[in-house]
Amino acid sequence: AAAAAPAALAILSCFNMGERGWLFSRAALDHTPSRSVFDAETEGTFRREGVELILDVGQELNLHIETCATGIVFYHRFFTVQSFADHDRWYVAGACLHLGAKVEEQPKKLKESVPVLLKFLPPHEALTEEQRKEAWDPNSKVYKEARDKVLACERLVLQTIRFDLCVEHPFRHLYRIGKQIRVPGYERVPDVIVQVAYAFIRDSFVTTLCLQYPPQIIAIALLCLTAECKGTHLELLSAATSSIKSARWYDGFIADARLGQQAISAAIADISNTLRDLYGDVIAEIKAEPLPAPTPSSASRSRSGGSGGGNSGGSSGGSAQKRPRPDATAPAPGRT
């Protein structure tokens, strides 16, 4: 396995690493090493299954969603360079989560995480009931074999990603931006807008969007998609409450000045379309749920141009839902 790393590192140069970091063009992702063996649909299935395993194990271990997301990004990066034909994707997924937990300062001992990983292996890989019980014994053969596989995969992951452990997620951009925007007629952005955008971001990790676009672009695009689903649009808070001034509400949140308006618009459209395809008919259900009516005080202050610090997502008949925190693990699409 260790010998495969130099070849993998050579492949990185073909993807024009460096200037764009771990971001790849669609064309590059259509020519990963796996494509010499598997078609696009199969590779996509393998990616999704690994992501779902990471989410399952992470949820069982009470890991934060950002910890799981970091492991997922490592998994996607690894299999952009390495082939699914050459590695056990289940143990690679376990190794990526184990590494992500350490990076996000939420480490788990292998004697805690390995038995959980074995619990969530797919049916054709699953252990017998007796073996599952045995896996909790750190002196057992079942545990030691699985532990050694995870450690070997972790070493290979580190070599393949060139020990680059820096990962930034859209979640933090979502909350930062959410404090500086609003929906017309509301004092601030309703909580449900942030909640739905959060769910979109969480579920986007089963796709390769994290390999294609910077996290702030993903956050902006999925806020735009959420607003569109709710039949509204977003705008910046008044000049008194926001230091950002721009023709388009999101321009000031995009740090890379080299990105032109056309490129940003194309990226937002592609990200939105990817999530529409992922959600399918569920998008119609999201659209069918209207925004809660703004509270009278909020609507009044909004019309007068004033601002306040209260939530604007609730109606007069009930309190606003609490915003989800990025440390709450949640299932991927189709999971309950």
Q: State pLDDT tens for residues 225-259.
A: 999 999 999 988 854 455 555 568 888 888 665 66
Residue 316 pLDDT? 30
Residue 192 pLDDT? 93
Asked if 89 and 38 touch (Cβ cutoff 8 Å), the reply is no
281: CB partners within 8 A, 6+ apart = none
* Residue pLDDT tens, the chain, 336 long: 333 443 433 334 333 443 347 899 999 999 999 999 999 999 999 999 999 999 999 999 999 999 999 999 999 999 999 999 999 999 999 999 999 999 999 999 999 999 999 999 987 777 788 888 888 989 999 999 999 999 999 999 999 999 999 999 999 999 999 999 989 888 888 999 999 999 999 999 999 999 999 999 999 999 999 999 999 999 888 544 555 555 688 888 886 656 677 888 899 999 999 999 999 999 989 988 888 888 665 544 444 444 333 343 333 333 223 333 333 333 333 333
Residue 135 pLDDT? 87
* Rounded alpha-carbon distances, angstroms, from residue 231 to 154, 193, 213, 225: 45, 11, 25, 10
SS (H, E, C) the chain: CCCHHHHHHHHHHHCCCCCCCCCCCHHHHCCCHHHHCCCHHHHHHHHHHHHHHHHHHHHHCCCCHHHHHHHHHHHHHHHHHCCCCCCCHHHHHHHHHHHHHHHCCCCCCHHHHHHHHHHCCCCCCCCCHHHHHHHCCCCCHHHHHHHHHHHHHHHHHHHHCCCCCCCCCHHHHHHHHHCCEECCCCCCCCHHHHHHHHHHHHHHCCCCHHHHCCHHHHHHHHHHHHHHHCCCCCEECCCCCCCCCCCCCCHHHCCCCCCCHHHHHHHHHHHHHHHHHHHCCHHHHHHHCCCCCCCHHHHHHHHHCCCCCCCCCCCCCCCCCCCCCCCCCCCCCCCC
Q: State pLDDT tens for residues 40-79.
A: 999 999 999 999 999 999 999 999 999 999 999 999 999 9
Confidence (pTM):
0.80
Residue 258 pLDDT? 63
Residue 8 pLDDT? 39
